[in-house]
Amino acid sequence: MAAVTTVSLKDALADYLVYLEKVRCLSAHTIRSYSNDMEAWRLWLEEQDEPWEEVDEICVRGFLANMSLRKMTPSSINRRLSSLRGFYDWAYEKTGREDNPFRRTRALKKQKTLPMYLTDGEFEKLIALTGDDFFGKRDRLMMEMLYSTGCRVSELCSMNRDSVKGIEVRVMGKGKKERIVFLGEAARKALSEYLPLRDMKAGERKKDGPLFLDNRGERLTARGVFYLVDRYSVQGGIGKKIGPHTFRHSFATSLINEGADIRMVQEMLGHSSLSTTQVYTHTGIERIRQIHRQSHPHGRSKADSGKLK
């Protein structure tokens, strides 16, 4: 029989989500992810009839095994473990306990995958599909800005008209950290063509409001951006699943391939850790390897050599 605890797990989780929002200043999207992860843990404990304050490593391993049996990816499992590690750190700090069982559980080894990015030709295909009406001009600017600045979709959607000053755009990143990103020439041109149509649709009521508007004149949502990018991808016959984050990967990959300093790329992306940015150096190395295979006689495999004869 489960022991009686002073605070139910449901109440403790609710308090923790408030802490994440008010103190840690995490985005609504991140908080939803935390909430989903911890709700899965709560349901698991109910099935096992385990008190949440007294769980041990054996219980955590059982939860880990359950996730693996359900074919969850290592990255999803690790994210869930990380969410719960943070929750128990927060909860145990209040009681003075230090034996967080999630601290003694190793993360699963993830298969290394390089981020997917768009080639210049693929990006031009997408841009060519946009029209000359309000929606076409908006979508062109949307994609040009994602590609030119490397901003996150949440940052794009939160932009207001006055966020843009010349070539500089003020964005609010994770943890409500503000940074400045820059518009390229194509993005500036797209902005100048979109703004008159945007202002006409917004009217006086939202003159200085959201930069990107939907068909009702409201702020364009992240879900709306995902839908639009997917639609253009299908229409353009891109042949791979892309989303708004693909433009961010493309931005970073282009900078690294052109020899940009990785710490400058980190700053432009708004990464808190350099290790997050370093994945793009591997993308650049892979591109160099491909060029070597294609261009150097000793870089080709025997199968490749045979085809060239």
Report the candidate in 132, 125, 129, 126 with the shortest Cα–Cα distance to residue 193: 132
* Locus of tokens 């190793």: 106
249 is catalytic: no
From the candidates 152, 188, 198, 249, which is the catalytic residue?
152
Beta strands in the chain (DSSP E): 164-165, 168-172, 178-182
From the candidates 117, 147, 232, 280, which is the catalytic residue?
280
From the candidates 271, 282, 287, 300, which is the catalytic residue?
271
The set of residues, in sequence order, having a beta carbon less than 8 Å from that of 18 and lying 6+ positions away, is: none
From the candidates 24, 42, 179, 245, which is the catalytic residue?
245
Residue 300 to residues 172, 218, 287, 295, Cα–Cα distance (Å): 46, 54, 15, 8
97 is catalytic: no
From the candidates 24, 42, 79, 174, which is the catalytic residue?
174
Residue 207 to residues 91, 145, 188, 269, Cα–Cα distance (Å): 45, 20, 19, 29
User: Cα separation of 195 and 171, whole Å?
Assistant: 18
Helices H, strands E: what count in the chain?
A: 14, 3
From the candidates 80, 140, 248, 249, which is the catalytic residue?
248
For 270, the token pair is 């708004």
174 is catalytic: yes
For 161, the token pair is 């008209």
* Locus of tokens 């308090």: 15
Other C-beta atoms closer than 10 Å to the C-beta of 20 total: 20
241 is catalytic: no
152 is catalytic: yes
Radius of gyration of the chain from Cα atoms? 24
Residues labelled as active-site residues:
152, 174, 245, 248, 271, 280
